[in-house]
Structure 1
């Protein structure tokens, strides 16, 4: 799809006729009398109907997740108007963008951090495999008062199924699937078990799930032995190629193990507590990138890389582990409900990448070593403790309120190293190293403490008009201690004790406000107006300041404007309505929004050493509309649709966005997100074989084009819009269901994101071509997953 630019009016009309989506749709289920039954959500910190919640919220329940074969957050985003997640295959963190609020490039690991994710009541930065999920709630727009830091764009909540106190039940499930371009078969297998230990008092719920997705990207030119094999043999001589290089098929495989154990204790009718332990391990064999049609004419590899092939010299595996121990206690005090949410979480990551091209760019002399290959070993650890206490009023009178306190402590550690196998010996040896062939090392420790008090007060001015005021007062402290070294350049680095560490600290305090007014018409339509604020904490980049006189050898240091960065904030103005029609067989919801973004934080790099840092880039704005609808018609048909339009652009010049004197200007479009998004789904149900139910589901999601850097500057490019279709058929019996499905029905091939830019392949349009263009392979694209055909089976049981 080259272009996808329907007008707002046309889309609104289409949404009314073709109806709903698994967004506002997913919030809902179909009852026997052909009405839409709205499910309960808790995003406002109170339980209530989604159609009565005066805010822009999407909820996807377990049925919708199953119907559309939604397995991760990237799949969710295609059904939520205003939410964009560029699928980067799991190996790299995919950017989460709401309403186009993003100034970073769509490069590897370029998540702008404008959306917070929660598991239950606890903030946890994770892309969770969607198993044993009750529902997902996506809050669009700044959520600073109730949800705190990192919610400039919104918040995403994973709500796990809770232990049931009165029933022993469980399920086992299996999924076998095949991906075009892959030689292997994938599978997913899971089990859930729930049982009361003491009826109506104590229950336990456990789940275990294993997901194995085969790869479909082949690493075509990996070296046989780093530092010995020639990564650039005579590509016209097959024997020379075979002696130095090897092909690794289906390298970007993905394995995810997820487990959960929950214990729920209802001490009496007023106290309910749940202790939950969650674990997830992700293992990836390589990146989901390809250099198809990205290599320069001067490259010896030009024309040799296919649509699902990668030219990296070394494999790029990665591994991530998350665990969370949480305790959530709810106590009914009569006048209010007391909620305590405590969470202890940890994160460990390790990975390897081909770093050869980046090192060539720093110094072309590396090419003197015929077997030169650069590779990384990057590791990171994070430990986090979160505590929130809040009181939520229970009274039925005109006044209602919420008041709470929040505390968060986070410790981060990272250790990134670059190795150049064989280079020390090639240079003649004699260079003392903490580890042989260690070319670069950076170690960083940071501690973050954040605390806040928050609250909301609501008042019913009339039976139809409600007004809510909210506020959050916060403060934070950050301390970062880091150091780096280049042993092969300095020649005097023989132990970590010699690493010179630099400490940078930052702290700030502030306040956020919210105003909401909503009016319920006699017809049942709910109209609302909201002004809300969001913020993200600032901090230090933890890099030593540059000396007055730079040395001749390579140095990593920060200029004065690179040492730290300021917090950024958003202010959202939103007007929306929610409506039900034709005896509750049609829901139609819409919202107009205008978001101002100040001091936007962006990913950048130091002038000296190209070390990744965070900087501020002035102000930006996003405005547009979001529509979602769902309807039941005839006897067996349900339809759903969504549409979103967001015009996101800078509102002042950012002269140094891409380095000194290399910036963007007022009016430049923001990157990473499409201006238009659309989804449409159709469901048909029919009783068959007396007591079985046949359900056929079709879903289509589409987006317009995406640019990769602000204003298409600095060798950016436009990634064409595309659409994806899914089709499934399910037969459901009393205690079982069987499903066949096809994802990416028409096997659409499209680029979802980019790694680096054209200048790395010698195709710069700004004159900033990198050195040795025939060797540059770091410029690549992430792609959509090829057509996937599978079959699922689920068996439920009760004892």
Structure 2
């Protein structure tokens, strides 16, 4: 099997390299019409709204990847990791408290982002920003499942003017399908699969129905889904010699037990939308979404390939009876969007409300030394956003858009730590709970505008600006010897401006070149900082064991990126070959890092965020789609990213030239799809492969955080019987047993991190009407 795996990997890498490392299937910019004559022009135009106006993706002068509804269906995509890791210039990491998106290498803290510096990528579901919806107890945004989705737009490069805060590296927009007032339609689907190794059975059910209540005036669209996936890790704490030794030493033997099916999950969701169009020019859409996520255990390996050895959680931290730990996330999202077409432009007003929560319990025993600690994180997130914008549609050379945005959000989180061993053996902290209460609030408002002018036929200049101001408050309360006793409120406010400039030239109707300067920003924030009671014992205002002031640990400043980019979009051979290429250089100022105070005995060892200096990332992204014949299509792509610090940060032990974490230098993709007729039934077979290069989970390039360097191959086949489709598929064909991400815990173990799901074989049935 190892030889087979190696052969597949070499074959996939060689195939991709031989066609110049260009775009992945899932990042395709056009769909190829399968029954087009060999000499005719292939045309199935994709319309996007990445620039806040409807345009063909080949006319948008920015680097953008599009995942279509057809692609989602054919590949059975469910979660963000199903498509993000296969897009040039993009990586995605997952851990038990969520996922992180990294575009063009811009990241310093790939794990636990919301609590630390925040994400570098803005995420949207329709018109609703969901960037912070994971709250303080999770990573970034809630991963809303890809059911009844029209398309996904991945915008590479800073999007500060159009999409505001957190779009330092780019933005990801998931666009759900809208209700249709002219026809009844829908689909139902069911699936079963089995995961090898320690895995088991997986199930899926989903359905959508669209009903015009009043023809051409009122329609309702409803979607529901349930995904149940087995875990594929095993906890062998009862026999692991290292953990057993710690259990005896600290008197924690009752909490060293064995469990199977670690990492099993359930996702249950529903969405309902109503669209009202009382006149031809006026449209109102109301939508509500609810999703509940349940994850059992801590889905990581720390004692073997898919093995772990962790203490149970404390009785007070047990969730849903899961003594091995659990993670639950819930989101309720309401949106109202009003659109009015003025003929010479369109006016849009939108309001969204989010209620979300994250509850995580875990053992601290993956650390080094192995301490029998248990902790729970309970976070609540509330957010209200509103936006109004006008987009012109003038017939002349000049067009513009203007908009205003307001946001108010609050995050509340409680972090509780408990000792599992005997009081006598407790060398870390005196008996009793240790609590950390964190409350944060944000008020933000901004105004933005953009104007474009066609200087001569085909040559267009565009300029944009966004002004923002914000106020942030953090209130913390700590108790217990682990954190010390404190009660503190810190506030800050600031403002800023970002700019965008673009020059594009249409060489012909299917080819464009462009040059762009754009900026992105992430809001600064006050933060809990380090507690004086345990990190400044001599009360001199300096963190013990360092030269860092205690006050500086309580604030991170806003950071921003400047992006310089040139690129091209093209359609050749009657659009049988379409694609894009972009080269970029980005400067990142005020880079924040998650770092630690010196360890005992000189310091307290607690973590905090710090602006560490500056960084630069540069690279190339290529993607293309080729209709080889009427029946055979190839999508291919890849990227090279060089992301490094450009300024020493000696207090963090990081220096100029150190590589930024979380993103590989290289990734590549190759997908092939062959369509044919099987006894009168339309059939296709496709293979999708991605290569994710080597990367590290921290700035120090620690061996324990090395991940990536793998090829993942999936096979799918579908045969259609009228409106019924039957899929057979294999995911992770070669059964790659590799790390997809490794965190920053100092485990001192060869095995620590989050591994790819073993080979999974399954079938799906879909019926459309």
Matched, 1:247 2:258: yes
Matched, 1:688 2:683: no
Which of residues 744, 747, 753 in structure 2 aligns to 1:760? Answer: 747
> Which structure 2 residues correspond to residues 206-221 of structure 1 after superposition, within 5 A?
206-221=222-237
CA distance in 2, matches of 1:244, 1:355: 12
Structure 1 range deviating more: 347-356 or 574-583: 347-356
Which of residues 343, 354, 360 in structure 1 aligns to 2:352? Answer: 343
Provide the residue aligned with 2:126 in structure 1. Answer: 120
Give, in angstroms, the shift of residue 72 of structure 1. 1.0
Task: Give yes or no for contact 1:102–1:112 (8 Å, CA) kept in 2.
Answer: no
Relative distance call for 1:222 and 1:51 in structure 2 (3 A) is: farther
CA distance in 1, matches of 2:185, 2:665: 45
Relative distance call for 1:324 and 1:611 in structure 2 (3 A) is: farther
Relative distance call for 1:327 and 1:376 in structure 2 (3 A) is: same
Which of residues 514, 517, 521 in structure 2 aligns to 1:528? Answer: 514
Provide the residue aligned with 1:328 in structure 2. Answer: 337
Q: Which runs of 5+ in 1 are unaligned?
A: 235-239, 293-305, 362-366, 432-436, 491-498, 658-662, 764-778
CA distance in 2, matches of 1:616, 1:475: 20
Provide the residue aligned with 1:739 in structure 2. Answer: 727
CA distance in 2, matches of 1:688, 1:345: 48
CA distance in 2, matches of 1:549, 1:39: 58
Task: Give yes or no for contact 1:36–1:586 (8 Å, CA) kept in 2.
Answer: no
Task: Give yes or no for contact 2:529–2:550 (8 Å, CA) kept in 1.
Answer: no
Give, in angstroms, the shift of residue 29 of structure 1. 4.4
Which of residues 550, 555, 559 in structure 1 aligns to 2:537? Answer: 550
Which of residues 90, 93, 104 in structure 2 aligns to 1:83? Answer: 90
Matched, 1:441 2:450: no
Matched, 1:274 2:285: yes
Matched, 1:232 2:247: yes
CA distance in 2, matches of 1:549, 1:57: 48
Give, in angstroms, the shift of residue 36 of structure 1. 4.0
CA distance in 2, matches of 1:579, 1:598: 34
Give, in angstroms, the shift of residue 546 of structure 1. 2.4
CA distance in 1, matches of 2:24, 2:570: 15
Relative distance call for 1:40 and 1:241 in structure 2 (3 A) is: same
CA distance in 1, matches of 2:297, 2:118: 23
Task: Give yes or no for contact 1:29–1:38 (8 Å, CA) kept in 2.
Answer: no
CA distance in 2, matches of 1:450, 1:112: 16
Task: Give yes or no for contact 1:387–1:408 (8 Å, CA) kept in 2.
Answer: yes
Provide the residue aligned with 1:313 in structure 2. Answer: 311
Provide the residue aligned with 1:354 in structure 2. Answer: 363
Task: Give yes or no for contact 1:107–1:755 (8 Å, CA) kept in 2.
Answer: no
* SS of residue in 2 equivalent to 1:290: coil
Give, in angstroms, the shift of residue 576 of structure 1. 0.3
Relative distance call for 1:347 and 1:385 in structure 2 (3 A) is: same
Task: Give yes or no for contact 1:26–1:61 (8 Å, CA) kept in 2.
Answer: no
Give, in angstroms, the shift of residue 2 of structure 1. 9.8
* SS of residue in 2 equivalent to 1:313: coil
> Which structure 2 residues correspond to residues 783-798 of structure 1 after superposition, within 5 A?
783-797=755-769
CA distance in 2, matches of 1:705, 1:185: 31
Provide the residue aligned with 1:418 in structure 2. Answer: 417
CA distance in 1, matches of 2:642, 2:479: 43
Provide the residue aligned with 1:676 in structure 2. Answer: 666
Matched, 1:43 2:50: yes
Relative distance call for 1:246 and 1:422 in structure 2 (3 A) is: closer
CA distance in 2, matches of 1:531, 1:186: 46
For residues 640-681 of structure 1, give each alpha carbon's deviation from its aligned partner in whole angstroms, at most 9, with x where no partner exists: 001100011111111122xxxxx2111111121110000000
Task: Give yes or no for contact 1:603–1:614 (8 Å, CA) kept in 2.
Answer: yes
Task: Give yes or no for contact 2:738–2:755 (8 Å, CA) kept in 1.
Answer: yes
CA distance in 2, matches of 1:24, 1:580: 16
CA distance in 2, matches of 1:101, 1:444: 27
Matched, 1:93 2:98: yes
Matched, 1:470 2:479: no
For residues 492-546 of structure 1, give each alpha carbon's deviation from its aligned partner in whole angstroms, at most 9, with x where no partner exists: xxxxxxx642011111111000000100113731001100000000011124762
Give, in angstroms, the shift of residue 488 of structure 1. 8.2
CA distance in 2, matches of 1:10, 1:33: 26
Provide the residue aligned with 1:703 in structure 2. Answer: 692
CA distance in 2, matches of 1:40, 1:284: 37
CA distance in 1, matches of 2:676, 2:275: 38
For residues 424-456 of structure 1, give each alpha carbon's deviation from its aligned partner in whole angstroms, at most 9, with x where no partner exists: 5988xxx9xxxxx64310001111011100010
Relative distance call for 1:488 and 1:587 in structure 2 (3 A) is: closer
Give, in angstroms, the shift of residue 353 of structure 1. 0.9
- Aligned residue-pair number: 721
Provide the residue aligned with 1:295 in structure 2. Answer: none
Provide the residue aligned with 1:299 in structure 2. Answer: none
* SS of residue in 2 equivalent to 1:30: coil
Give, in angstroms, the shift of residue 571 of structure 1. 0.5
For residues 372-404 of structure 1, give each alpha carbon's deviation from its aligned partner in whole angstroms, at most 9, with x where no partner exists: 731112100010000000000021110000000
Task: Give yes or no for contact 1:276–1:326 (8 Å, CA) kept in 2.
Answer: yes
CA distance in 2, matches of 1:755, 1:326: 35
Task: Give yes or no for contact 1:516–1:530 (8 Å, CA) kept in 2.
Answer: yes
CA distance in 2, matches of 1:36, 1:643: 24
TM-score by length of 2: 0.88
Task: Give yes or no for contact 2:530–2:607 (8 Å, CA) kept in 1.
Answer: no
Give, in angstroms, the shift of residue 349 of structure 1. 0.9
Task: Give yes or no for contact 2:124–2:174 (8 Å, CA) kept in 1.
Answer: yes
Matched, 1:587 2:575: no
CA distance in 2, matches of 1:417, 1:277: 33
Task: Give yes or no for contact 2:486–2:531 (8 Å, CA) kept in 1.
Answer: no
Q: Which runs of 5+ in 2 are unaligned?
A: 131-140, 313-323
CA distance in 2, matches of 1:197, 1:424: 67
Task: Give yes or no for contact 1:319–1:350 (8 Å, CA) kept in 2.
Answer: yes
For residues 565-601 of structure 1, give each alpha carbon's deviation from its aligned partner in whole angstroms, at most 9, with x where no partner exists: 1000000011000111111111131000001100012
Give, in angstroms, the shift of residue 709 of structure 1. 2.4
CA distance in 2, matches of 1:24, 1:310: 35
For residues 726-747 of structure 1, give each alpha carbon's deviation from its aligned partner in whole angstroms, at most 9, with x where no partner exists: 0011012321111000000010
> Which structure 2 residues correspond to residues 371-770 of structure 1 after superposition, within 5 A?
373-421=372-420, 423=422, 438-486=432-480, 500-522=486-508, 524-543=510-529, 546=532, 550=537, 559-606=550-597, 609-657=604-652, 663-690=653-680, 692-712=681-701, 717-719=705-707, 721-757=709-745, 759-761=746-748
Give, in angstroms, the shift of residue 483 of structure 1. 1.5
Give, in angstroms, the shift of residue 312 of structure 1. 0.7
Task: Give yes or no for contact 2:705–2:743 (8 Å, CA) kept in 1.
Answer: no
TM-score by length of 1: 0.85
CA distance in 1, matches of 2:351, 2:169: 25
Provide the residue aligned with 1:33 in structure 2. Answer: 36
Task: Give yes or no for contact 1:20–1:639 (8 Å, CA) kept in 2.
Answer: no
Provide the residue aligned with 1:772 in structure 2. Answer: none
Relative distance call for 1:233 and 1:627 in structure 2 (3 A) is: same
CA distance in 1, matches of 2:573, 2:483: 75
CA distance in 2, matches of 1:20, 1:652: 33
- What is the RMSD of the two structures over their aligned residues, measured on CA atoms? 3.2
Relative distance call for 1:176 and 1:202 in structure 2 (3 A) is: same
CA distance in 2, matches of 1:272, 1:678: 42
